């Protein structure tokens, strides 16, 4: 029996409604978790100053999630213009890395930016900064201490590439195809705070500018994320 006979293939409206319902359910779940932790802390009777510090961290996590959800919705609605260029990329990458230097020191992750100083990417500076920030924050959360994240700009006649590669703990190869899904976290990443939207935002920005994103790596072999943009 084929799909037409069974009616198994949903129309555009049904597919949209299914996506919207699933997205709402996931967001609700992700917000409930820090909210439940905050309520448990308040009811614990622990030291008030310590409780206040921990509750603040939970509220900041919820705020970050809401901000990322709204930003992704803005991107998908077309209200945030992604492409504007071409613009030289290395100075913006260096600026973003410098802004994350203190956090990188605390995480014991070295940040290294290098590559073709004349390389241009078809992204507005703000959008390039968002891509770089999410690539860096992903490494700070998950690569592990004593590691290095390299942001490298490469260029040849066919394409320009922004490569983020770390030498950290890596990720199971079976998880690689899902790495850019909204809210996806590998088993190890679930123990870390984060919205689960960072790499989804990276993919949406890059693909909206006509590029593509791919990931490679494995346990103990770090993670490499390649953002590829066709030449001119």
Query: Which sign, positive or negative, has the C-alpha torsion 197, 202, 205, 206?
Result: negative
Whether residue 2 is predicted with pLDDT greater than 50 in this model: the reply is no
Residue 100 has pLDDT above 70, yes or no: yes
CATH number of the CATH domain containing 69: 1.10.287.130
Mean pLDDT of the chain: 79
Are residues 152 and 37 located together in one domain of the fold?
Answer: no
User: What is the C-alpha to C-alpha distance for residues 26 and 88, in angstroms, rounded to an integer?
Assistant: 37
Compute the distance between CA of residue 81 and CA of residue 195 in angstroms, rounded to an integer. 23
CA distance 87 to 173: 34
**Closest-CA residue to 71 (of 58, 84, 82):** 82
212 and 100 within one domain: yes
Predicted pLDDT at 129: 86
Q: What is the percentage of the chain residues whose pLDDT exceeds 90?
A: 34
Of the candidates 223, 220, 221, 222, the one whose C-alpha atom is nearest the C-alpha of residue 199 is: 223
Of the chain, the percentage scoring pLDDT greater than 70 comes to: 69
Alpha carbons 128 and 82: distance in angstroms, whole number: 9
- For residue 213, the enclosing domain spans 87-230
22 & 62 share domain: yes
Q: Which carries the bigger pLDDT value, residue 177 or residue 140?
A: 140
Q: Does 59 fall in a domain?
A: yes
Please count the structural domains in the chain: 2
pLDDT tens by residue, 175-189: 888 888 876 665 554
CATH number at residue 91: 3.30.565.10
The answer for residues whose C-beta is within 8 angstroms of residue 125's C-beta and 6 or more apart is 87, 92
* CB atoms inside a 10 Å sphere around CB 47: 9
| d(C-alpha 196, C-alpha 72), whole Å | 12
As a whole number, mean pLDDT of residues 117-142 equals 89
Q: How confident is the model at residue 40 (pLDDT cuts 50, 70, 90)?
A: confident
> Does residue 166 sit within a domain?
yes
- The two beta strands, 120-121 and 87-88, are antiparallel
Name the residue among 89, 94, 75 with its Cα closest to residue 227: 89
Q: Is 196 exposed, middle or buried (0-12, 13-18, 19+ CB in 10 A)?
A: middle
Task: Say yes or no to pLDDT of 24 above 50.
Answer: yes
Domain end marker among 53, 77, 101:
77
The answer to whether position 82 is within a domain reads no
pLDDT at 16: 47
pLDDT class of 145 with cuts at 50, 70, 90: very high
Cα–Cα distance for residue pair 149/223, rounded to 1 Å:
9
pLDDT bin (cut points 50, 70, 90) of residue 3 is: very low
126 plus 221 within the same structural domain = yes
Query: Is residue 206 domain-shared with residue 171, that is, in the same domain?
Result: yes
């Amino acid at each position: 029996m084929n799909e037409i006979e069974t009616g198994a293939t949903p129309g555009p409206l049904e597919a949209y409604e299914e996506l919207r319902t699933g997205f709402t359910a996931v967001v609700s779940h992700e917000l409930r978790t820090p909210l439940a932790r905050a309520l448990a802390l308040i009811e614990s009777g622990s030291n008030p100053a310590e409780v206040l510090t921990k509750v603040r961290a939970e509220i900041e996590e919820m705020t970050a999630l809401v901000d990322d959800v709204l930003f992704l919705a803005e991107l998908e609605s077309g209200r945030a213009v992604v492409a504007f260029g071409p613009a030289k990329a290395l100075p913006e990458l260096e600026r973003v890395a410098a802004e994350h230097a203190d956090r990188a020191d605390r995480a014991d992750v070295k940040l290294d930016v290098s590559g073709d100083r004349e390389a241009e990417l078809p992204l507005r500076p703000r959008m390039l900064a968002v891509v770089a920030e999410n690539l860096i924050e992903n490494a700070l959360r998950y690569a592990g201490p004593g590691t290095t994240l390299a942001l490298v700009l490469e260029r040849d006649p066919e394409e320009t590439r922004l490569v983020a590669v770390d030498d950290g703990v890596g990720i199971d190869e079976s998880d690689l195809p899902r790495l850019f899904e909204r809210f996806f976290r590998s088993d190890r990443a679930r123990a870390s705070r984060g919205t689960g939207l960072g790499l989804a935002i990276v993919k949406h920005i890059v693909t909206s500018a006509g590029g593509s994103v791919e990931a490679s790596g494995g346990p103990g072999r770090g993670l490499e994320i390649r953002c590829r943009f066709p030449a001119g």
